[in-house]
Amino acid sequence: MASTTGSDSGADGSLGAPVSRREGAAKTAGEARYAAEYTPEGCVYAWPVPATVPRGRVTSMDASDALALPGALAVLTHENAPRLTEPDDGILYVLQNDRVPHRGWYVALAVAETQETARAVAEAVRISYEEEPHDVRLMTDHPEMYHPEKANGGVPGDRERGDFDREFAAAPHRVDATYTLTPLHNHPMEPHAATAFWRDGHLTAYDSSQGATTVREALATLFAMGEEQITVVSEHVGGGFGSKGTPRPQVVLAAMAARHVERPVKLVLPRRELPAVVGHRAPTIQRMRLGARADGVLTAVGHDVVTYTSTVKEFVEQAASPSRVMYGSDASRTGHRVVALDVPTPSWMRAPGEAPGMYALESAMDELAVELDLDPVELRLRNDTQTEPDTGRPFSSRHLADCLREGARRFGWYERDPRPRMRREGDLLTGTGVASSAYPVLVAPSTASVEALSDGTFHVRVNATDIGTGARTVLAQVAADTLGAPLASVRIDIGDSDLPRAPLAGGSSGTASWGWAVHKACSELLASGGTKATADTTEDVQGQQDYARHAFGAHFAEVQADTVTGEVRVSRLLSVFAAGRILNARTARSQFIGGMVMGLGMALTEHSVIDPATGGFVERDLASYHVPACADVPDIDAHWIEEDDPHLNPVGGKGIGEIGIVGTAAAIANALYHATGVRHRDLPLTPDRVG
């Protein structure tokens, strides 16, 4: 194992080299087309109508004024919209009945010759509701709170190992603290959008999605069609962060409207409506109980998560997960409780479970270090383990300790005075904090094909999705590396459901999943000596049960707190990751930094609340929901340790899309404690709370 950084050395096409994005020039020139930038002949426009009550029934719809507007074409409602087959995912069952499960649920769709007219038509529809009492408040003692059998990702709802109550009670050093997070929103730069048309019974949809194969499957179910009658294109996607990982209403509505008016239809969801219809990170109330011996070794780990789901479908943010992975202990009890409220359905947001869960665990570890008067890096080193506590399986590789040591060295960690509130300059207090990071290695079966052309070039085809990460580029590198061919000789097609089927870009699993299939296809091409090969990794992936696989990392933050205004600013943020083989130094560094910035936003600026009176989110756009701007991120530094893990996949990567956000908020909050000597357990750390 050697230490390295994301320097721009070796700018050839080899695996690991910092190759620039293939589509970069097209994107900067405005030539790369996103879902709403396709305008088929005769295309018309749709605009949605959200429910304006928090719960109830639509009792009447009057579209007569709306349809009288020049250019109006149709108003789809539950009374006239095409019928759908009920899907597993209830959020896609739109305009099928009169129910309003939450404020912002779509109850109608206006269609018109222009987007402006469609909006005017939507606003002119008169709707009456029968309103019912609603409940949107998350409370730990809510009478309808229950223990789910499974949380997101199939994670067991509750786990117990050893006698937690006894070990915690007997521990000479204890932390018992509760941490809260508000709802958080995915706000990709490109709002959710779709352009759809029908021709000779074939549906084509350009959709802003993290996985066109998944969207095609959903549309096939909804419209009771064969998958071969549907093409979904997601060639370029302007971010998703999980909100485009599952199919979303825009593509269903666009397809319904296109069938209804018999014209191509384009639908872009208004930014202010996204929080209600594209999923969000559910709020969490997390009670952490840690018990330790005087030397810092943990004897008891307790992590109780309280969160909400909607009445439309059960989604449980699996925030207790990290406590089942990170540190050894004699006993642990980890679990989730959830209540179905009249809220928009929560879903995936970058590192679901891990991001909020690690905030709680790593904050509690910092509190334990204070209680023990032990350096927080040392506390983590003393509890490192090579066996996954929850399952007893060995880790395929785990270099958490190396990340902590390397990060401490690069950051200058040991120059700190461990006592809080010691660095003051004028009104500013400065402090430093650390937190660990981890994210599971997920991989899904994929297919891919490769063809050797007579001019000596290669054509790789796989329905991967590039959500801005550089997937297209990295997969070309994988192919070139496997074939022993120059990068320029590899042409790659992705982002179209007519290509070999492949899983979505989610769970940091894309590159490993698609790359495995690309590697296998290219290997088989070489072995066969033929001109074409296709590969399917289903059996390879299913064989992986023996090891616990996770990427690890460590974050180091320095913050400055203004004692007059309460403003907290991050002055330095440095992280070191161990995530297997890094396949492209440039795009990997960008992914890490992107995750870290998102963690900074989680710590300092991102806040959302559902107004109990209206049942709707108050922060609904980028003017009210604050994500970090460049000026919020002065010095940010991502490094990695080269990790050679033979138990992963032929490509050797662990996935890097989500680990950057995991633990970052804890490092920042811990630094704020060190700066001020005051512990804050509710994010975000805004001036009104800190001052």
Contact between residue 243 and residue 348 where contact means Cβ atoms under 8 Å apart = yes
595 near ligand MOS, rule: CB under 6 A? no
Residue 634 beta carbon to ligand MOS: minimum distance, rounded to whole angstroms? 27
Among the residue ranges 73-81, 155-163, 344-352, 632-640, the one whose residues contact ligand MOS (CB under 6 A) = 344-352
Residue 351 beta carbon to ligand MOS: minimum distance, rounded to whole angstroms? 6
Closest to ligand MOS by CB, 307 or 329: 307
Residue at shortest CB range from ligand MOS: 242
Which helix H or strand E contains 100, and what residues bound it? strand 99-100
Read out DSSP for 512-559?
A: HHHHHHHHHHHHHHHHH-SSEEEEE-HHHHHT--SSB-EEEEEEEEEE
Looking at residues 367 to 406 of the shown chain, list those that interact with ligand MOS (rule: CB under 6 A). Answer: none
Q: Is 658 a catalytic residue?
A: yes
Residue 556 beta carbon to ligand MOS: minimum distance, rounded to whole angstroms? 25
Structure tokens at 455: 């001019």
Residue 596 beta carbon to ligand MOS: minimum distance, rounded to whole angstroms? 16
Q: How many residues bind ligand MOS (CB under 6 A)?
A: 11
Among 45, 47, 308, 348, binds ligand MOS (CB under 6 A): 348
407 near ligand MOS, rule: CB under 6 A? no
Which helix H or strand E contains 302, and what residues bound it? strand 298-310
Distance of alpha carbon 553 from alpha carbon 385, whole angstroms? 14
Tell me, what DSSP letter sits at residue 36? G
Among 183, 245, 302, 440, binds ligand MOS (CB under 6 A): 245
Among the residue ranges 199-207, 342-350, 558-566, 579-587, the one whose residues contact ligand MOS (CB under 6 A) = 342-350
User: Long-range contacts of range 141-148, CB-CB < 8 Å, 24 or more positions apart?
Assistant: 142/339, 144/339, 144/340, 145/306, 145/337, 145/338, 145/339, 146/337, 146/338, 146/339, 147/335, 147/336, 147/337, 147/338, 148/314, 148/316, 148/336, 148/337, 148/338
Closest to ligand MOS by CB, 240 or 599: 240
Residue 140 beta carbon to ligand MOS: minimum distance, rounded to whole angstroms? 26
Residue 507 beta carbon to ligand MOS: minimum distance, rounded to whole angstroms? 4
Closest to ligand MOS by CB, 171 or 502: 502
Residue 667 beta carbon to ligand MOS: minimum distance, rounded to whole angstroms? 21
Residues 6+ away with beta carbon under 8 Å from 310? 101, 102, 340, 341, 342, 343, 344, 345, 346
Among the residue ranges 132-140, 168-176, 345-353, 563-571, the one whose residues contact ligand MOS (CB under 6 A) = 345-353
Taking residues 155 to 184 in sequence order and writing x for each that binds ligand MOS by CB under 6 A, - otherwise, the string is ------------------------------
CB atoms near residue 657 (< 10 Å): 26
Residues 6+ away with beta carbon under 8 Å from 673? 366, 370, 420, 431, 433, 679, 680
Position 162, amino acid: G
Distance of alpha carbon 136 from alpha carbon 379, whole angstroms? 39
Residue 630 beta carbon to ligand MOS: minimum distance, rounded to whole angstroms? 24
* 684 prior amide bond cis, ω within 30: yes
Distance of alpha carbon 57 from alpha carbon 60, whole angstroms? 9
Closest to ligand MOS by CB, 495 or 506: 506
Contact between residue 379 and residue 630 where contact means Cβ atoms under 8 Å apart = no
Exposed, middle or buried, 322 (CB in 10 Å: 0-12/13-18/19+)?
Answer: buried
Residues 6+ away with beta carbon under 8 Å from 429? 421, 423, 560, 561, 563, 675, 676
Structure tokens at 133: 């009492």
CA atoms within 13 A on the CB side of 277: 29
- By residue count, the chain amounts to 691
Residue 539 beta carbon to ligand MOS: minimum distance, rounded to whole angstroms? 24
Closest to ligand MOS by CB, 442 or 518: 442
Closest to ligand MOS by CB, 397 or 509: 509
Closest to ligand MOS by CB, 266 or 654: 654
Closest to ligand MOS by CB, 50 or 191: 191
Instruction: Check residue 620 and give left, alpha or beta (phi > 0: left; psi -120 to 50: alpha).
Output: alpha
Closest to ligand MOS by CB, 203 or 662: 662
Among 187, 266, 324, 350, binds ligand MOS (CB under 6 A): 350
653 near ligand MOS, rule: CB under 6 A? no
How far, rounded to the nearest angstrom, does the alpha carbon of residue 666 sit from its chain's CA centroid? 18
Residue 349 beta carbon to ligand MOS: minimum distance, rounded to whole angstroms? 6
Among 101, 507, 553, 655, binds ligand MOS (CB under 6 A): 507
Closest to ligand MOS by CB, 183 or 240: 240
Looking at residues 183 to 242 of the shown chain, list those that interact with ligand MOS (rule: CB under 6 A). Answer: 210, 240-242
Give me the catalytic one of 317, 406, 558, 658. 658
599 near ligand MOS, rule: CB under 6 A? no
551 near ligand MOS, rule: CB under 6 A? no
Spell 40-51 as b/e; 16+ CB within 10 A means b. beebbbbbbbbb
Closest to ligand MOS by CB, 480 or 665: 665
Closest to ligand MOS by CB, 430 or 469: 469
Distance of alpha carbon 331 from alpha carbon 267, whole angstroms? 52
515 near ligand MOS, rule: CB under 6 A? no
Distance of alpha carbon 464 from alpha carbon 517, whole angstroms? 11
Distance of alpha carbon 346 from alpha carbon 558, whole angstroms? 32
Residue 171 beta carbon to ligand MOS: minimum distance, rounded to whole angstroms? 35
Residue closest to 464 by CA, chosen among 501, 489, 490: 501
Residue 595 beta carbon to ligand MOS: minimum distance, rounded to whole angstroms? 11
CA atoms within 13 A on the CB side of 240: 31
Outline where DSSP puts E strands in 165-228. Answer: 173-181, 193-199, 202-207
Among the residue ranges 267-275, 349-357, 384-392, 494-502, the one whose residues contact ligand MOS (CB under 6 A) = 349-357
Among 376, 506, 510, 594, binds ligand MOS (CB under 6 A): 506
Among 349, 403, 474, 551, binds ligand MOS (CB under 6 A): 349
352 near ligand MOS, rule: CB under 6 A? yes
Among the residue ranges 348-356, 427-435, 565-573, 613-621, the one whose residues contact ligand MOS (CB under 6 A) = 348-356
Rule CB under 6 A: which residues touch ligand MOS? 210, 240-242, 245, 348-350, 352, 506-507
Active site residues: 658
